[in-house]
Structure formats: structure tokens, C-alpha cells
Structure 1
């Protein structure tokens, strides 16, 4: 399995956009259109935010993760953020997510950051068991409870 920048794999932009649209846009009721998601992923970089990584094996995209400067407006003091971690269901349990997270931490460290943050509504146990430190629970503009975590980039 290889982890690469989506910006190096432009042929995967539509596939990544589809995964994220189905998992994070439709399910959350966001009004964002699919075309907007494609446009976003068409503009990701490898050395400044937003950054998107993809897990690849034999040309197949197994999953993705992004790095945003901020992923929670009410906590703009925290930077940067791991966002939109997604592994296709048929590849779950194979360490794809862990490899994407490890590469994300490496990228953030190379960019000069000592910490990485994330928000989750329903995967707190996943991150706790992988060494992330719980910081707080907040409510967003939709009044959803969001757990905020951080990890040291060492």
C-alpha cells in the first residue's frame, strides 16, 4: 500500500470526491453540491492547506484523508486539522486508516507543526485507542456534540 498526495494522482479526484460526498456531505445534510466537492479536491496541494492524501494499492484507491488549516470555526486557535478520514468498507480492518493518519502526521511535522487536531461526532474511541488526547466536547453551529482531540507530531 502506498500513501500519496491526491495532487499527484489527479485521475483519483472524482473517486475521492464521490467517497467524501457520500460519507460527509450527504450524511450531514450539508447543502454543498458534488461539483463543489470536485472543485475543492482539484485544488488540494502537497505543501500547503488544504492537503489530501490517498491510500493506493495496485491502482485502486482504498481511502483518503485531508489536512485543513481549520475544521472547527469556534476553535480557530487549533491548527492544523486531520479531516475526512475515510476507508472504503471493503478495505476496513487492514490498517488503511492508520497508515493515512501516520502519513498525515509526517506531513504536518514536515510543515513545521508540533500538533495535529481533529473533530469527531462518533469515532472518539477509535482515536483514543490510537494515542490521541481528548481535549474537549463542544457544540457546533448545528448544536451537535463534537469531541476534539490532538496528537503530538514527534
Structure 2
């Protein structure tokens, strides 16, 4: 399945027709806004409609915008109009769209995204936290939730400055994460985990090479959390700031970052494949800047 931006899609009429046939009232409203070219007027010039497509079929959709149906609030941005067609339900496809919205929000400099809903227990599955009950544009009560756009351990304080200018634009670990999100791939995953790597689990098997690359940029030390199978999960500490750019691979499992065992690249790179993956990751990171420039 692919995620497309409606505004950039070549076959917009095809997707618009499927929106028209949506059995959800809000979906029909979104269709009318797009058909009548009123969507951006209502939700902002930078607002986007995200389409999760399965070949020529529309599986799910949502919007990303600075405005929502909650008036008189400074909170932004928002995810809205979230819908999955009946035949695609039960596959957690909404998670794919939420991940894409979070990426868009990060690129726009936001560390939080909001959602207004009357659903119970739905967005909480994706890490949403309740904020308040607020009145929507129709005067009805709606629950407002927020979701962090960053999911890695220590993201809140991952603001230590880069010590090198080799990667212009990478000022903090958050910036590094934003770019590595597009760089991590099966090739850079530990061989024993590659069969389980996916775009939905990008950080799987990337810990040591990522931690040493982060050390190149921010200094500090690389520490390891024992995993019980003889291996260590690597993360970074620069002064009092600890961050783990690849912690999301563990899902809801909480690691004990107080169990500290210093890790060295001399020891890790005794494995030729690991050093090779580190060099690949480093080269791919550098290539991102050549592409941007």
C-alpha cells in the first residue's frame, strides 16, 4: 500500500469519486469541500489530504492541517477526517496514516499533533493522551487528544548541539532522527533481524550503528542496556542528556536505562558486517545532504 497526497496526485478524480461514495457523513463533507475547492479555505493553505491506496482502491484517508473544527484555539496542527473503508478494517491501517502525519508535523517543526474525536479508546491505541473536552464548531462536546510526533526515548530533552558541521541542518538529535527516518532500511538492519524489518518498524536492528553515528555528531558516550540474550541495546548520553533514537523498535516494552554498560566501536566493529553497515548508514546520511543541495 502507498500513501499519496491528494493535492499532488495525478488521478485525483479517481480518488474523489471514491470519497464521494464513502458511507461516512464526514467523508461526504470532505468530498464536497474538495469538489468545490473550499478545503484549503476552511483548513489552511498548507492543509493536506492523505490517501492510503491499495492499487486503484482507496483503503483509508485523513487530513493534516493547522486548523480543525475546534475554534478559538492556538493548538496546532491537527489530524482529521480519519476513516478506513469497511473491507480494510482490522489491519491497523490508521497507524500508517498517523505515522505519516507525525512525519509531516516534524518537518514543519511541531513536536505535538492534535485530534478531535467522539470515539472512545481509539486514538489511545496510538499513544494519544487526553487533553480536554472542548466545543466544536457546531457547539457540541468533543474530546481533544494530543500525540507526540517523536517517539524515541529522551526526545523531550534531545536538544544537545552538534559538535561538527559535516552535516548542515543537523543541529540536535531530533534533526538527526528526522533525516535517519528516511535513511534506515533493511540493508542497515542487523542481519539476524532483517527478515522482520519493515517501513513500519524502521529502527529495528539499527541501534549500535545509529548510536555511534550520533556520537560522531554530538560527542558523549554510547551505553548499552543488557537484553538478556547476551546482546546490548545501544543508546547515547551527552552530559546529562540521554537519548535513544532507535527505541521505538521495542514498542510498549520499557527498557531500564539505568543499567549502564559502556560500549566502544572498537569492540562492536570487530564484526566486519557491523562496521560495514555503519559506513553504509553514514554514507546514506551524507547523501541526503547532497540530494537536498
Regarding TM over 0.5, the answer is yes
Structure with the larger RCO, 1 or 2 (CA within 8 Å, 6+ apart): 1
- Provide the C-alpha distance between the structure 1 equivalents of 2:99 and 2:38, rounded to a whole number of angstroms: 21
Name the SS of the counterpart of 1:109 in structure 2.
Answer: helix
Contact in 1 for aligned 2:20/2:27 (Cα 8 Å): no
- Structure 2 CA distance for partners of 1:38 and 1:138, relative to 1, 3 Å: same
TM-score by structure 2 length?
0.44
Of the two, which has the highest radius of gyration? Answer: 2
DSSP-derived class of the 2:105 partner: helix
| SS of alignment partner, residue 90 of structure 1 | helix
SS of residue paired to 1:93: coil
In 2: Cα distance, 1:94 partner to 1:25 partner = 20
Which residue number in structure 1 is paired with residue 107 of structure 2?
110
Larger strand proportion of the pair: 1
Residue 22 of structure 1 deviates from its aligned partner by 4.0
1:142 aligns with 2:138: yes
In structure 2, the partner of 1:93 is: 90
* Consecutive unaligned residues in structure 1, runs of 5 or more: 27-31
Mark the runs of 5 or more structure 2 residues left unpaired by the alignment. 151-293
Secondary structure of 1:129's counterpart equals helix
> CA separation of 1:102/1:16 partners in 2, compared to 1, >3 Å: closer, same or farther?
farther
Does the CA-based 8 Å contact 1:69-1:81 persist in structure 2?
yes
Which residue of structure 2 aligns with residue 49 of structure 1?
Answer: 46
Matches within 5 A, 1:31-46: 35-40=32-37
> Structure 1 pair 79/89, CA: closer, same or farther in 2 (3 Å)?
same
Q: Is the 8 A contact 2:63 2:82 kept in 1?
A: yes
Name the Cα RMSD after superposition: 2.7
